Chains A and B, each alone.
Chain A
Amino acid sequence: MSTNHGEKLIQEVFDRIEHEHIRPTPRWRFLARNLTLWFSGFFSVMIGGMAISVLLFVVDNSDWDLYEYAFSGVTEFLVVMSPYIWLISLIFFMCVAYYQIKHTERGYRYNFFTLLSVVIIMSGMIGVGAYSLRLGGEIDAVVSEYFEDYYGESLLSKKQQFWMRPRQGYLSGEVVSVSNNNAFSIRDWNDQLWDISGNNLISLRDILLKQSDRVRIIGVHVASGTFRACLVKPWIIKGPSGYGERNAFELRSTLCE
C-alpha cells in the first residue's frame, strides 16, 4: 500500500468515525467489566469454600466407625453416603472461578495449573476456616431448610432417620437413667422411652454411661419400648455447637457377633 493509499485509508477511518459517531468507550465500562470478573471470581471461590466446609462436615459425621454394620463394604458406604450435590457444586464453582479470573486483564498470564491451584487453595482455606468456625453444619441446615425440594434433608435429619430404625436394629437417643452398663433407659428423638438391656456389654475404655449421654445403639428390637444392645457408641455431631459433644465411651458385646 503506497503512501497515498495510506493517507486515503487514514482519511477513510476519520470519515467513518465522524459518520458513525464513533467515540471511545468510556473508561468506567472497562473498569466495571474487570471488577465484575474479579468479584464474580471471588464470589465463586467463596461458594466453593462453603461447599468444602459442608463436605468436611458431612465426611466428619458419616459414621465411618460403624459403616461395616450398615453396608456391605467401603464401596457401598461411599456410594450411598457421598454428598454428590456438594461435590458437583464444588467442581462447578471451581470452574466458574477459574474462567472468571482467567478472563481478567492479566489473568491470561497464568497457566492452567497455576490458576486452578490458586483457586483450589483459596477455596480450601476458606472451607477449612468456615468448618473450624462450625459453619459447615449451619450451611447444610440452612440450605436444607430453604431448598428442601432440590437438596433434600440436612445431614442431621438423615442421620437421625438412619439411627431411628429400631426394627432394623438401629436406635439412638438420650440416656435418661442408668442402672449399669447393661441396663439403662433412653428417650429417642421422637420422645419414646426405651429400656435397653445389654448382653454382657463391656466398656472398652472404662467409661461408664451416665444420664444425659447421647447414644447410638446397634442391637435387636425385642418389643415396643424394649431393645437389646450389642454396641453402644456416642451420638456425635462434630463441628457446629449445640448438637452434642465428643464422648469417648464405647460398649460392646462379643455375644452379639
Chain B
Amino acid sequence: MHDIQATTTDQELVALTLQDKDYFAHLMHRYRQKLERYIRRMTAIRPMEVEDLLQDIFIKTYRNLHGFDPRLSFSSWIYRIAHNEVITQYRKKIVRPEGHMVDVEDDVLSNLMVDTNIHTLVDHSFLKNNIATLLNEIDVKYREVLVLKFFEDKDYKEISDILKKPPGTVATLISRAKKQLRQRCEEHWGKYTLV
C-alpha cells in the first residue's frame, strides 16, 4: 500500500482503479484529509455530516472516473467535485454557507494578512482567533476563492479548473475578495487591536 502511495501518480491510480476498484482506496487516502479540511472551511456542519458529504464526493468521483480529463490535474478535478457538492448542500439549505478554519498554519495566515493589507489593522494572533468570523462575513463567491488560494494553496489555473471559470475572472474575484475582506476587517475591528 505504502509503495503504491509513494510511487504512483494520480493519473496512474485512476487508470488502475478503472481496472480494479480496490485501487480507489489509494486515491481516497490521498485526498480524504484535504477534502475534509476544505469542507469544514466552507461549511459549518457536524463531523458526522462531514463524513456523509465526503462519502458522496468519493462516490461521485468513482462514478465519473471515465469523465476525468487527463489534461487537468486530478487534484483540481476532485476539488471541483467537492466544490459542487458543497454548493449543492447550500442550495438544499442543508448547511449554512459558513465555515470554520481548521489547521491554519502561521505562514498561511501571514501571507493572507500581507496580501490583503490586514496586517495594518490587526495583529497575527488576533486574526488567528477570528479568521473564521472574518471569512464568514464576506460573500460566498469571494470566500471560496480565498480559501482555495490561501488555505488550499491552489494557483490561479487550478482555481480556474476547480470553479470552471476563466483565469481572468478568477483573478478579478481574488482581487475583489481581498478588498472585501479588508473592508469587513475595518468595519468590525478597525485598528484598535494593534498595540
Contacts and interface: CB of A to CB of B under 8 A. Distances in A.
Is this pair of chains taken from one and the same complex? yes
A151 interface: no
A75 interface: no
Interface in B173-191: none
B58 interface: yes
A6 interface: yes
B28 interface: yes
Interface string A1-38: 10001100110111011000011111101100000000
A9 B32 contact: yes
A179 interface: no
A108 B47 contact: no
Contact of A6 (B24, B32, B47, B62): B32
Task: Determine the interface band of chain A, counting residues with CB < 8 A from chain B.
Answer: 20 to 34
B14 to A, nearest CB: 10
A13 B53 CA distance: 11
Contacts of A39: none
A109 interface: yes
A81 to B, nearest CB: 40
Interface stretch (B86-94, B139-147, B161-169): B161-169
A14 B25 contact: yes
Interface residues of B, number: 31
A24 B32 contact: no
B43 interface: no
A108 B66 contact: no
Given A1-B47, A109-B166, A17 B66 contact: no
Contacts of A25: 63-64, 66-67
A16 B25 CA distance: 13
7 contacts: A6-B33, A13-B62, A22-B62, A25-B64, A27-B66, A105-B69, A110-B166
Interface of B: 18, 21, 24-25, 28-29, 32-33, 36, 47, 50-51, 54-55, 58-59, 62-67, 69, 71, 160, 164-169
Given A1-B32, A24-B63, A106-B71, 5 more contacts: A1-B36, A1-B51, A13-B58, A24-B65, A25-B63
Which 10 pairs show the lowest CB-CB distances between chains A and B?
A27-B66, A108-B164, A111-B166, A30-B67, A24-B65, A13-B58, A10-B28, A24-B66, A6-B32, A111-B168
